[in-house]
Structure 1
Amino acid sequence: MSEITTTQKRPSIIVENVRKTFQIRHTHSMKEAFISRLKRKQVGSTPYNALDGVAFTVGEGESVALLGFNGSGKSTLLKLVSGVLEPDAGRVLTRGRVAGLIEVGAGFHPDLSGRENVYLNAAILGMNKAEIDERFDRIVEFSEIGEFIDQEVKHYSSGMFLRLAFSVAIHVELDVLLVDEILSVGDAPFRKKCTEKIHELAQAGKTMLIVSHNMAMVQELCERGIVINKGKKIFDGPIAEAVDAMNAK
């Protein structure tokens, strides 16, 4: 297996022998679950190892793709790096401020306006009010939803969620950017604009960990690929070889 070493670079992300297990419940409906509770019946479940002993290091300024088919564990891994989930074993360490684009509209409050959600999301990502005030106009301009900024976000389309979520994240003073399939949503001109912005961040030396099924895009954005299959790392090396390893599965 070809492997890229990052010993010459200060690490931004360290994943050490991480394991994450979920319980898959066997009850198939709310009605069955309710009846089971009434009868004080134990609901059966089966452990599912979403990740099993995964380890790698991402150096400062690297752009790395996490590749794998649906259910391979890559999105779970990204959530562990972001801090949304905690590992059952092993540990995940990050250096600096981490901004995550993991789920469209995650962290948005539906009853708040776009303007209020900009301040809420930016605060969650570690910005103070003065920083948000200074960047607010640029965030709205990039999102291209200026006329809707004072509407409640529950009336937004998924594309509008994407524009605002992406715009907030990339205007944070970030060190590490995590992206999970978010660039597959939205129209072609906005996807191009987002890709160009990610290129700018890469050239500025930001560390990036990207999950995507778009092989052309990750080969354009990333120099390295890590392939996850059934919760295990099966390849870590140059992005072209990673794509080949992914396609060979």
Structure 2
Amino acid sequence: MSQIIQQTTGTPRIVVEHVSKRFLKRNTHSFKEAFVGWIRGKKVRADSFLALDDISFQIGQGESVAVVGLNGSGKSTTLKLISGVLEPDEGKVYTRGRVAGLIEVGAGFHPDLSGRENVYLNAAILGMSKDEIDARFDDIVAFSEIGDFIDQEVKHYSSGMFMRLAFSVAIHVELDILLVDEVLSVGDAPFRAKCIAKIKELTERGVTMLVVSHSTGMIRDLCDRGIVIKKGKKIFDGEIEGALAAMK
């Protein structure tokens, strides 16, 4: 990794180096067909689908970068690899510092626990101590606008409530890298505006952000640089207007 770092100005927060990721695509049409095939001793054939093909890029401290492309291009897979949810089949992914990922709304929340208990659980997963969570708990709840629902089981929450609480926990962690995948599309306009303002505040403090969104307005507002992925391949990496033009 030392050779990679020497090629950049300063130390990068994220390094994706010649990464490829494959998924299996089964050719059976249903579980019933697969079960019948298994009973009869027939092998279930599966094809390999190349979701990412030799992707490389680096992102420095304090950069706000959008990963853009059409549906199925590999954007979300890229974020999941950086977050550690997935591992690459080929290549390497390096991150430097504490990573908080808002990749799936409500991911990591236990449905039978209250909002309060889930704040402590998720903040602990993100590396916060109990004393840190105690000190920031009121701020987390206030930002989320959950109110009295904080002591209700989260299985009764709407998707918007999930998002607000998950986002609030993540941004109150002492994080170095924030990964956001379409999560800000959930919720009302005033809350989205508050989230965007908070993200800008974090990037001004040197937090690195990588965002996936179909909202060109949000991308323009948050990001100066864009990486375009098409059918698993990186086809553009540069200023944001050029990235949006490359998608067309």
In which range does the TM-score fall when normalised by the shorter chain?
over 0.9
Aligned to 1:96: 97
2:213 matches 1:212? yes
- The residue type equivalent to 1:200 in the other structure is E
- What is the CA–CA distance in structure 2 between the aligned matches of 1:61 and 1:9, rounded to whole Å? 11
Aligned to 1:195: 196
What per-residue deviation string (whole Å, max 9, x for no partner) do you get for residues 9-30 of structure 1? 3200000000000000112222
- The residue type equivalent to 2:241 in the other structure is A
SS across alignment from 2:17 = strand
- What is the CA–CA distance in structure 1 between the aligned matches of 2:212 and 2:26, rounded to whole Å? 27
- What is the CA–CA distance in structure 2 between the aligned matches of 1:33 and 1:115, rounded to whole Å? 43
Deviation at 1:190, TM superposition (A): 0.7
CA RMSD of aligned residues (A): 0.9
Deviation at 1:108, TM superposition (A): 0.4
Deviation at 1:200, TM superposition (A): 0.6
Name segments (4+ residues, structure 1) moved above 2 Å: none
Deviation at 1:220, TM superposition (A): 1.1
- What is the CA–CA distance in structure 2 between the aligned matches of 1:11 and 1:234, rounded to whole Å? 21
- The residue type equivalent to 2:28 in the other structure is T
Q: Which runs of 5+ in 2 are unaligned?
A: 1-6
- What is the CA–CA distance in structure 2 between the aligned matches of 1:88 and 1:124, rounded to whole Å? 25
Deviation at 1:47, TM superposition (A): 0.6
Residue pairs, 1:63-102, within 5 angstroms: 63-102=64-103
TM-score, normalised to structure 1, is 0.95
SS across alignment from 1:149 = helix
Deviation at 1:40, TM superposition (A): 2.3
Q: Which runs of 5+ in 1 are unaligned?
A: 1-5
- The residue type equivalent to 1:110 in the other structure is P
Aligned to 2:3: none
Aligned to 1:58: 59
- The residue type equivalent to 1:228 in the other structure is I
SS across alignment from 1:130 = helix
Q: What is the aligned-residue identity percentage?
A: 70
SS across alignment from 2:206 = coil
